[in-house]
Amino acid sequence: MAAHPDIHSSQIDELEEIWEWIESFDAVIEKGEPGLASRILQEIRSRALACGVEVPFTANTPYVNTIHVSQQAAFPGDQEIERKIKSLVRWNALAMVVRANRVEHNIGGHISTFGSVATLFEVGFDHFFRARTKDFEGDTVYFQGHAAPGVYARAFVEGRLSAEKLENFRRELKPGGGLSSYPHPWLMPDFWEFPTVSMGLSPIMAIYQARFNRYLEDRGLKPATDAKVWAFLGDGETDEPEALGAITLASRENLDNLIFVVNCNLQRLDGPVRGNGSIVQELEAAFRGAGWNVIKVVWGSDWDPLFEQDVDGLLAKRLGEMVDGEYQKIVVESGAYIRQHVFGADPRLLKMVENISDDGLRTLRQGGHDPKKVYAAYKAAVEHKGSPTVILARTIKGYGLGEAGEGRNVTHQQKKVDEDTLRHFGERFGLNITEDQIATVPFYRPPDDSPEMQYLKACREKLGGYVPRRSVRSKPLVANRGELFEEFLTGSEGREVSTTMAFVGMLRKMLRDPEIGKLIVPIVPDEARTFGMESLFRLVGIYSSRGQLYEPVDMNTLLYYKEAKDGQILEEGITEAGSMSSFIAAGSAYATHGINTIPFFIFYSMFGLQRVCDLIWAAADTRCRGFLLGGTAGRTTLAGEGLQHQDGNSHVLALPIPTLQAYDPTFAYELAVIIEDGIDRMYVKGESIFYYITVMNEPYAMPPMPAGSREGILKGMYRYKAASNGKSKLRAQLFGSGAILREVLRAQEILEEKYHVAADVWSVTSYKALYSDGIEAERWNLLHPAEKPRVPYVTQCLAEAPGVLVAATDYLKALPNLVSRWMPTRVASLGTDGFGRSESRDSLRNFFEVDARFITLATLHELLREGKIQTSVVQQAIKDLAIDVDKADPLTT
Ligand SMILES: Cc1ncc(C[n+]2csc(CCOP(=O)(O)OP(=O)(O)O)c2C)c(N)n1
Ligand SMILES: [Mg+2]
């Protein structure tokens, strides 16, 4: 090693000693024993620790490719022809965006994400992504959502999408249909399988999908295969907590069927992801620390000769010193700048590149743009055993857009591309674009007999067909499982049970059913005991890929914590986002796997829609089926837990999700009717809907189902108990939901006994269903003025229901107000707007003014407004009911 002039002799001794060690180490490697070399390092490390020598910790490796060129698998394809195909895809993607933006500025989408990810996708399409076929379940691919133009462009080149469809990119309402901006199975149910564009959701969904695939295998619901789950993410996307929040689950579960590819273009929307650091190194440390197999694909093949010369690691060290902001800058700089800035740091580095021209330096490729490097990484990933793999691929944002858009901070929103850029693009990718074509930016697909098309088709045939493609592969369940739920329709004969307990009873029955039993997937985020579900632990077991390696502490009890390899319950631990991701995997298995799994995800209702609403939205987009159960629901029904736990919101939050059917039942028979009908609608009739049902922990005697109430339960309301004296002069209609229905029934008695008011009581099982029905009827009437108007169901119910109207709910007053305009007169709404607090149920219902006393008062007040009774009656009632008129307003307290 050449010594530097100003190094002291003691330092030279040290360096020589180090060098001797390195030489010995090299000798082991030269003998072809990398395994031994690795062991030596481990032994030395242990020895150092035993001798009290501090070994600095780092989870990082140098800033070079993980796969050394000597170990790189050979590229099996025809690189030239693949480059041509990729160029065609790039051109059509660009054309699609440019044309769309010409038609309507601001609608056309952007191209720079795909610019960076194109090689990462294309190598997958040509060599890895296996389609779903009759004999093979296929790989599951989560495409980086913002790169959708590239996936469409490929499908166009493949002949799967027409030019008309491409023309209508982001114009989905055009005649003939268009293409959705991003992956949305709801909008393109034959194409996209998974929505990925709300950043951070695709990584967590992919992890739980990979785990769910193993669950299906371990439970014997599908054969074990080597199918993979691929997820392509942006580097900026990894800042979302969901993105990295579940990576330890993947390694803990040894998910070697899972491959993440992070498109590290170092930029997000506004600017650099880590201007002052290195996103690749940061992610490497996080994933290695979590036990993943990390493959960095930083440098392209052009760099191989340089690294070969880098025997003392100077180049690797220099490259590791540079921060991402500098890397971003050299993308837009000249070769001379790169020479000076990157290599000028040391004369030995300058010497390394003295034979490379400035232009050569400028075009040295990043790993993620080199198919050879990408192929080798993918091959290593699919062959890797025992842990999930993440590939960290360095790319350039807006690659191909040249000076107009490569690597700039404004690149993300690059939409308009001038003719010079198009010309440059055509030249760069070797496309024969004529001058007149430049101006019109036509879509272009080569003839079927061209070598490109032949090659492309052969590649896809080998991989079983086209990807992505979505199809419903499951067969409907057979109808009629009335018997299963019969016992819940007859009441509890005075025994006090909560709707949660009733639900657990139904779940137990369903689990034992010969047809649907095995398909049920109970999912809990560490709340099974809260919901009294521990008896299911023993009955069907908790899924664990390792079985149970220990004797559970409660082994000698009846309901011990039983983990099993074929366990059925997904006990996810404290992660509603993870549980929801499992729900999505199970709820979409009817398409992904052709298996009608029926997920029942039960959670603390406050930590459901409010906590993971975006995932619930993604579930709807995915066309998920299944049941979400908000447990311990109700602002005043969950008594002791206080403000953060008491849910008066979730039924309002359920409103916007179009396919979510929301119910707030009071009685076991209502719940049974809803679940039975849900299974029928989703798994027999094949509707792509799912359910949100709140269940409570307040125990009471369950009555038998009143005759003829089934339709009303499902439609959202039915008369549960008519007034005993329908002829009374003072009449009222009272509406109750969930636990508050029982307060309404008490109010009915008080009103009758003390105030001679005859009130009918309605159970409102779903304000959402009533609201949807009402707006549907209104819309129809708007569009059909000459026809007999449709009458909303609420209006039909109340057509012959006399008197004043009062509604009480454990949720916001907004719910009854939603449907009030279809009622014959105004409705007085009682609800739980405000912050919850810890108290007893009685105190809470007084505080929120939703108990029987307030319902009575509200009814009397409405009668007073109608001039049916005197003020003094109401005043006296306030006294009799012990209502504090100066009490604090719960809304503002
Ligand atoms: C949850 C969420 N927040 C914000 C956005 C808006 N958004 C779209 S793309 C983008 C930047 C993406 O950066 P990166 O993940 O690095 O992907 P790249 O385009 O660079 O490949 C942002 C912020 C989004 N789609 N989802
Ligand atoms: Mg990025």
Query: Tell me: the pLDDT tens digits for 254-287?
Result: 999 999 999 999 999 999 999 999 999 999 999 9
Q: Which ligand is nearest to the CA of 614?
A: 1
Per-residue pLDDT reduced to its tens digit, 647-696: 999 999 999 999 999 999 999 999 999 999 999 999 999 999 999 999 99
Average pLDDT over residues 877-892: 97
Average pLDDT over residues 609-621: 98
Instruction: Identify the three-state secondary structure at position 893.
Output: coil
Q: Which ligand is nearest to the CA of 394?
A: 2
- What pLDDT, on the 0 to 100 scale, is given for residue 1? 45
Ligand 1 centroid to Cα of residue 268, in Å, is: 6
- What pLDDT, on the 0 to 100 scale, is given for residue 415? 66
Average pLDDT over residues 581-608: 98
Residues found in the chain: 893
Could you tell me the pLDDT band of residue 109, with boundaries at 50, 70 and 90?
confident
- What pLDDT, on the 0 to 100 scale, is given for residue 840? 97
Average pLDDT over residues 212-225: 98
**Tokens 């890797």 belong to which residue?**
384
Please tell me the distance from the alpha carbon of residue 848 to that of residue 841, in angstroms, as a whole number: 10
Average pLDDT over residues 742-756: 98
Q: Are 697 and 638 in contact (CB under 8 A)?
A: yes
Could you tell me the pLDDT band of residue 421, with boundaries at 50, 70 and 90?
confident
Mutate to test the pocket of ligand 1, among 268, 614, 621 (most ligand atoms within 8 A of CB): 268
Ligand 1 centroid to Cα of residue 71, in Å, is: 34
Ligand 2 centroid to Cα of residue 25, in Å, is: 38
Higher confidence at residue 558 or residue 859?
859
Please tell me the distance from the alpha carbon of residue 203 to that of residue 581, in angstroms, as a whole number: 10
Among residues 669, 634, 602, 667, the alpha carbon closest in space to that of 848 is found at: 634
Please tell me the distance from the alpha carbon of residue 182 to that of residue 109, in angstroms, as a whole number: 9
- What pLDDT, on the 0 to 100 scale, is given for residue 429? 79
Please tell me the distance from the alpha carbon of residue 825 to that of residue 731, in angstroms, as a whole number: 13
Higher confidence at residue 141 or residue 556?
141
Could you tell me the pLDDT band of residue 4, with boundaries at 50, 70 and 90?
low
Atom of ligand 1 nearest to the CA of 200: 1
Rounded to a whole number, what is the largest CA-CA distance in the chain? 113
Average pLDDT over residues 372-388: 98
SS3 percent helix, strand, coil of the chain, rounded to 5, is 45, 10, 45
According to DSSP, the β-strands at 627-631 and 690-694 are: parallel
Atom of ligand 1 nearest to the CA of 235: 16
Cα distance between the two ends of the chain: 76
Helices (H), 128-237: 148-157, 163-167, 201-218
- What pLDDT, on the 0 to 100 scale, is given for residue 59? 92
Chain-wide mean pLDDT for the chain? 94
Per-residue pLDDT reduced to its tens digit, 708-729: 999 999 999 999 999 998 899 9
CA 453 to chain centre: 35
Mutate to test the pocket of ligand 1, among 184, 201, 202, 237 (most ligand atoms within 8 A of CB): 237
Atom of ligand 1 nearest to the CA of 144: 21
**Tokens 């990718």 belong to which residue?**
429
- What pLDDT, on the 0 to 100 scale, is given for residue 100? 84
Per-residue pLDDT reduced to its tens digit, 318-330: 999 999 999 999 9
Closest residue (by CA) to atom 13 of ligand 1? 268
- What pLDDT, on the 0 to 100 scale, is given for residue 60? 96
Average pLDDT over residues 783-810: 98
- What pLDDT, on the 0 to 100 scale, is given for residue 7? 62
User: Does the pLDDT at position 192 exceed 50?
Assistant: yes
Q: Are 491 and 520 in contact (CB under 8 A)?
A: no
Per-residue pLDDT reduced to its tens digit, 504-534: 999 999 999 999 999 999 999 998 988 989 8
Element (H, E) at 663: strand 660-663
Ligand 1 centroid to Cα of residue 736, in Å, is: 44
- Tell me the backbone φ, ψ of residue 520, rounded to 5 degrees: -70, 135
- Total-model pTM: 0.95
Ligand 1 centroid to Cα of residue 269, in Å, is: 6
Atom of ligand 1 nearest to the CA of 238: 15
Please tell me the distance from the alpha carbon of residue 415 to that of residue 403, in angstroms, as a whole number: 14
661 burial type by CB count under 10 A (0-12 exposed, 13-18 middle, 19+ buried)? buried
Closest residue (by CA) to atom 4 of ligand 1? 199
Atom of ligand 1 nearest to the CA of 412: 19
Amino acid in the structure at residue 629 = L
Residues with CB under 6 Å of ligand 1 are 113, 116, 146, 197-199, 234-237, 263, 265, 267-269, 273, 397, 412
Q: Are 525 and 503 in contact (CB under 8 A)?
A: no
Backbone dihedral region of 5: left (phi > 0), alpha (psi from -120 to 50 degrees) or beta?
alpha
- What pLDDT, on the 0 to 100 scale, is given for residue 8? 74
Neighbours of 14 (CB within 10 A): 12
Ligand 2 centroid to Cα of residue 191, in Å, is: 25
How far are the Cα atoms of 377, 503, 599 from residue 482, in angstroms, in the given order? 54, 16, 20
Q: What sign has the CA pseudo-torsion 795, 800, 806, 808?
A: negative
